[in-house]
Amino acid sequence: MEKLAYQLWKKDDDSLETFKELLLKNLSKDIGELVSELQINIADADVLPANNLAQSNYPPTPNAVIFIKVKSYFLADTLESHLKKITKKIHGFIVSESIILENSKKSPLGSRSEGFSQVVFLEKPETMSSFEWFDHWTNYHTEIAIRTQSNFIYVQNTIVRPLQKASPSFIAIIEECFPFEAMTDPEVFYDAKNNPEQLAKHAQIMMDSCEKFIDFKKIEVIPTSRYRII
């Protein structure tokens, strides 16, 4: 079993709502027999309040990110032929998934998941080796991300390789789900409601760790609505 992640950009003539409908209503019909799991994350109107959390160093930002599980990446060409019918551009990656936190209350298939999903694409700073980067991420930062934030889903995806030559040199994709209020309330985001002192402490701990392994000039942070389809 392999997991594929795709950044998707809508066609210029399509509205975001049209693109969303194509993804949610039509994509599963086209690729449903090829995949065992399909998750669609779209930067739609429901996450507009989280615009202040977004970061983009490779504009334009993808309109959606989808995660697919298949028996083999050899199916990628067939999957991509369907994706290209409804998109302007795609970037795909084979990833290795590690589920750190998983919500025990899963939303029904096809419905919007609670809160919002923050999808982050990371590159390795040139000053670090791959070993140093993953050592910090997995053995140090992971525990901090859980302890200082209100995330209730946390998935780490290590990129095995890109599927398009033009894809950026990302090393990992993170997905974190937060309560709806965390879009606009830092105290909720940093699990410090009504506690300014704890907010400052958690934010500082988190940023100190991030600065040790993240190149902020090569990061994509995309707030999305999350839909588990299959």
Query: How far apart, in whole angstroms, are the C-alpha atoms of residue 37 and residue 163?
Result: 19
Cα dihedral: 17, 73, 220, 49 (round 10): 30
The burial of 120, by beta-carbon neighbours within 10 Å (0-12 exposed, 13-18 middle, 19 or more buried), is given as middle
Residue 94 has pLDDT above 90, yes or no: yes
Name which of 6-15, 105-114, 183-192 the model is least confident about: 105-114
Euclidean distance between the first and final Cα of the chain, in Å?
15
Mean local confidence (pLDDT), 134-163:
97
Residue 105 has pLDDT above 90, yes or no: no
Mean local confidence (pLDDT), 58-66:
96
Mean pLDDT value across the chain: 96
Flag whether the pTM goes above 0.85.
yes
Residues linked to residue 226 through DSSP beta bridges, in sequence order: 41
User: What is the pLDDT at residue 73?
Assistant: 85
Close Cβ partners of 109 (under 8 Å, ≥ 6 residues apart): 228, 229, 230
Residue 167 has pLDDT above 90, yes or no: no
Residue 195 has pLDDT above 90, yes or no: yes
Residue 2 has pLDDT above 90, yes or no: yes
Q: How confident is the model at residue 178 (pLDDT cuts 50, 70, 90)?
A: very high
Query: How far apart, in whole angstroms, are the C-alpha atoms of residue 159 and residue 170?
Result: 7
Query: How far apart, in whole angstroms, are the C-alpha atoms of residue 9 and residue 129?
Result: 31
Residue 106 has pLDDT above 90, yes or no: no
Residue 104 has pLDDT above 90, yes or no: no
CATH of domain 2-224: 3.30.70.100
Mean local confidence (pLDDT), 144-151:
98
